[in-house]
Structure 1
Amino acid sequence: MSLVDDVLVWSAELKDWQRDALRRLFIQDALSPADLENLIAMIKEAHGNGPASPERASPLTQDHVAGVGSGATVQLLGLSNLSNINGFPAGRGVDLQPNGLTVLFGENGVGKSGYARLLKNTCRARRRDNVRCNAFGAAGVPAADVSFLVNGHAQQATWTQGEPSNSDLSMISVYDAACAMDYVEEEGTPVFLPYGLGQLNRLVLAQRELHRIITAERDAVALSAGLFDPVRGETEVGALIKELGVVTDVEVMRTLGTLSEEDETRLQQLAQALQDMNPEPKAQALDRQSERLEVGAQHAVSGYALVSDEAFQTLRRLHDENIEAEAAYQDAQKNLQVDDATLPGTGNALWKLLFEAAERFSTIDAYPGHAFPHTEDGAKCVFCQTVLTPDAQQRMRDFSTFVNEHAAANASAAANALRVALAVLNSADFTPLDAPSLTELKAVAPDEHAHLVAVCEAWKLRRTWLVTAVETNDWTLATPAFPDGDRLEIRLHRLIEANESAAKTLRESDDPESRARLQEELKQLRARQAFALLLPQAEQYVRNSIVRQNLDKCLAALSPTGVSTKMTNLARLYVTSALAEAMTAELQLLGYRRDIQPELAGRTSAGTTKVTLKIKGSNLDAHHLLSEGEQRAIALALFLSEIRSLPHHSAVIFDDPSTSLDHRYRRKMAERLASLAVERQVIVLTHDAVFLTELNTAQRKAGVEASYKSVRWDNAPGQVVDGLTWETMNCKMRLEDIAEVAQEIQKTMGTYMNDDSAQAVTRAYGKLRGTIERAVREEFMNNTVQPFSDVVSVESFGAVIGHTQAEWETLIDIYDRSCEAIEAHDTPAERQLPIPPPEQLLRDVEVAVDLIGEAAQRRKVYERARSDRNAARKKPFQAA
């Protein structure tokens, strides 16, 4: 199992937020403020009773880790069908050589970084930024097709940003300046952190940062208990304040901090009772006041009964019945007066009184024992006292029937009932208390006095309303309402109960034992009264206590001990002496030759485990003794040490590896990359022309197959063409390019050379002149002197051997013709020479190729001879 495999298995035991943090640290250099904010939300949800985090945790998986995949040897063949990448037109791509060395050279701004980011994402580089879209175009998701070999078998996959990349591609290793930071601390101390261990280190640092942020948040939550000092003591409130915090029952606290009207009244009673030395007279006065209030309460019951809604309904019913009875009576009277012989008014109320009087006279005095009217033969009229005729007898019987009919009786009863009800209502006294009692009530309970006055006024208004409705038979006007609140008798009874309680308290206060109990009760009530003013602050204190407790739980969960322990175990298991020996060997290959001897030494600092580069015999940190370039070289050596330990030979990508290196380290690095390309595919992206020259030289010396490509603009960035730009071509490439130009001029110029063709030939001869100068350096002088370098290769000078006069004269002839053809100098018109035709240019190129080829052949002969001599020198020692 590799180190990262071990980390993946172990990470499954972590909390989801830790696994999410580790995922972020495997795919990016550091946690952004937004990352920290999201992680804090997850931590609060997991440990601090916080709400659900807006962003759900996404745990680390092998899709996020470089170098974790099939374990096969993987070689890249190319990228194609690029879309939504930088400002590249759709369809850009690049072919890659599966073996040896592939170099992508590009100046700043031509799109090389776009290819670098794409390769880092497809191959799951240790540290990678997202591929950028076109900042000035329509938004889209970057994507590309990737062709590659897996153990020699062709494969193809589509990479889309935001989706997992192919697991085989993760076997490819990537080195760049960000990767180098895995081996160099921020303060510059070289430190060996194998891939996976560095991410755990950063997890520890991230947890510390999260701890710092949450600590600051917790410390900002104020818990000022001194505010409650005035209510501390031996009371219920004091006991609550003593334990105020997360254990406090808020409902109990609110009950203690809220005084009801009864509590307020009781507090006043106790305060007054306990300050009187002779309480009995006051208790008796309260008793008398209660008696008067009881009378008022009984009066109030009667008052409400007279003008209640139910009473209104009863009176309206009587009024309606009276009207109906009277109407029935009028109908009966009309039936009595059908005979014209009857006198006007017969049957009316006055007539009815007369008839009823005659009835009493007849039954009492005139004809006792006979029913009225007495109409037997010989009976006389009680009014005229003449004998009744048969007609008169019948008339008297009709009159009796009319008077005794039900309609007349009902009319009389209804009228009487309404009259009695109105009499009771009009005679009602709506003053429940006498004047002295009202004055007393106003003094002791002004609110109750005001309510009583309002109720009495409402009684009177309702009586007036009812009488008016009866008189006018108009019941549509709005009925006056009673004041809000309880009925008057209920409120008066509360006052009576309060008086009884106060009287009882007064009498109890005269007893020492009871007085002590009352004093304790008053103490508790006064504590509650004082606490009521602090209740909002107490509730906030409890909320703040809960917040702090939850944040403390989060802080406890952020302890890095578990991660640090795992790091120590991983370092002990995977950072071996073999790895240290590999580092030393790589340093030697990279040209590290100082007397200072580096070694790896484990250390733990503030919870992070590091395998630090130490200098033998020195107590100083390595960064005090090593330059930045040396530290970069050591970082590369450590990276290559890891590459050595891999069980496969997958491709390695280097993005601008020469950063911060001087010419000596550039050359050694170029040689090391060329030697690495012998055993595996090596892809180098660079904008460093000096380093490119070193790579070209090292590649040729190592005999490694190489492919050079240039990234450039056409109408947009990202075009990749075979070969290098003119400035970076060797002389062979340049001659081939000039020959192609000459052939193109021949095809297009026609019979005679025009100005455009002449200018093209002139420019081509200018390039030929520069090519001859480069050939002299590269081939004839065997790179004994290099541009951009202050080193003269004495060893290389051995191949600089004599040349025949004819060779030099031929080469100089071509060189002179190039000088004459170009416009480097302004010459008089009479000295102007004709521009050679393209045929001459082609012949000059062909001759130059032959001359340079012969020089290169002589150089190779020399190099073989030198190699044979070196081998011969080693044989005696090998035999020994």
Structure 2
Amino acid sequence: MFQLFQRPTCPLLRDSSDQLIPKLPVPPHELSETNYVKNVYLSKKLDLSKFVWAGEDENRLSELDQKLKEADLKKAVVELREKKRKIGLLIKDIEDDLIKVSPQSKKEIDALASDLSTKEQAVLDAAKVLSNSSKLEGVGTESWKLLWSAAKEYSQKDAYLDDKKLYQHDRCVLCHQILDEETKTRLQNFDTFITNELSQIATDAKKRYNDRINSLPKDFTEDQIIDRCISAGLDRDWGKQIFNIWIQIYNNGEAIRLKRPLLNIYNDAQIALSALKEKSRRYEVTAAEYENDTKLFDRDAAAKQLLELKAQKWAFEQYEAIKIEQSRQMNVIRYDQWISQTNTRGITTKANEIGDLVITQSFVKRFNEELDKLGAGNIQVEFVKQINKGTTKHVLKIANATHNNPENILSEGEARIISLAAFLADVTGGNYANPFVFDDPISSLDQTYEEKTVKRLVELSKSRQVIVFTHRLSLLCQLNDACDNIKTLGIRRESWGTGEIGELPMSAKSPKNALKDILNNKLVRAKKVLNENGAEEYYLHAKMICSDFRILIERTVEYHLLGDVVQRYRRAVNTMGKVSSLAKINKHDCEMIDKFMTKYSFYEHSQPLEAPVELPLPDDISNDVNELLAWIEEFDKRKIID
């Protein structure tokens, strides 16, 4: 028994209304006197559109909070500019060191090393010529040069105290023996060798090379870099990232020292520099705003505005509770209206009017007709009207039922089909052209009810627009079979939410259209990914395309090779006018299907490590798709010809 209306007594209404107690969270004390709390949050008629909180609101709250925390905006400006200056120094040091380890710098240092090597070799060659006239080995080496310079310095400062050369004295400053003419000549040659232009050129070349090597970036500890970043207003995460860049720069400096190839660090360094420059720019923007605020800033007004924003944010966080409170307020209004209208005569009169208007024998007739159309003709309903002392009941009962509760006599599917019949009987009673929207109308229905429901939906679509939401492929297939003029759309869930329009599943698509979509869209994108990003990213696209193509081969067997006689998700076997087309199948058709199924089944299974099957390239897949499309075209024409 369905009781559609019963008049409650006034005390019951009042008791029910009194039980609707507000349960809104109490605002924090500091926000309780804000205009937002008093006029919006505690309003007797809540408006949900006023409870919003966006990114710009959060930014404004943070800005006001920061400004109010600053005791002296001028001091804050100085501190911001100092942080900007330190970031500038950081940027300059990184850029300078990047130049020092650039490919051009490496090229220049390598050239200096080569030049030094050439000049030192020339000095060694000259020393070799000189050593031929000497009595000992090692003339011209570094240790020999140091010995000569020390002896010369001792001669001029301590031994003789004059401007004479070593070879101009009578005794050797080292062994104190008398110098003969041959020895003096040899010493003169040694002195000439040390002081000549070739030796000086080599010395200059070595200095230039050492200066460049010594100017390469120095090694810094992570703590040193983090300390620099923190002093510039950056956190430890920034410091770790900047340290990582400096490590790469230093390693390239070591590569130059050791004459090894340079690593490409330019892109990572530029990303870090761009982030630092943006941080520096924001410091300047904030400093300029603070400078302007020192002239216009009203602390009291800003404090009030900050409290209002905090109140708005806090209220937004109570949104679910506010929705419940709004629903409670609406219920209270309804109860107040009902209480004001409760009297025996008025309720009785209104009940009779509603009963005669809404539940009539005409409605019962439509109800039973809908039950019959939906395959539940064994169930019928009857209309009963009862009036007793101001209480009116309009009752629809299941005919000949021995129980008043339908749950005791109906299965879940029967209850579902009766609900659907009641809905259709109601909405088809007037002369309206509004569209129907069904959300999985076959839920809980068995196959018979499901097919009858599909037939009824198609019948309704001839006079009105019918929109069906479903996740059941069987319903989609039946609707496609039963209706010539149907438009299908896929709705999928994305990370940002549900409701994104997308592609239909393969099982719901025409094989020819799906194959053309692979050819004209998916393969084009896959080929572009392969050319621009390489095989690793192409693998994901190719794997998906191969999987789709394999499904479409199966669908081709259903729709074309087997002439739509049998299909998955469909119980019926269609033979009328279709079986004869099976005689058109030849050995080549079977071999082609077998070839494609064998080839594209490989990619659906695990591959052996010793001999994995590589995914095909776009042109290979394109050739297979075109071959299958051409076969479909030829086979369909073959079926038409007797």
Q: What is the TM-score normalised by the length of structure 2?
A: 0.43
With a CA cutoff of 8 Å and minimum separation of 6, indicate the structure with the bigger relative contact order.
1
Q: Which structure features the higher share of helix residues?
A: 2
Q: What is the TM-score normalised by the length of structure 1?
A: 0.32
Rg larger for:
1
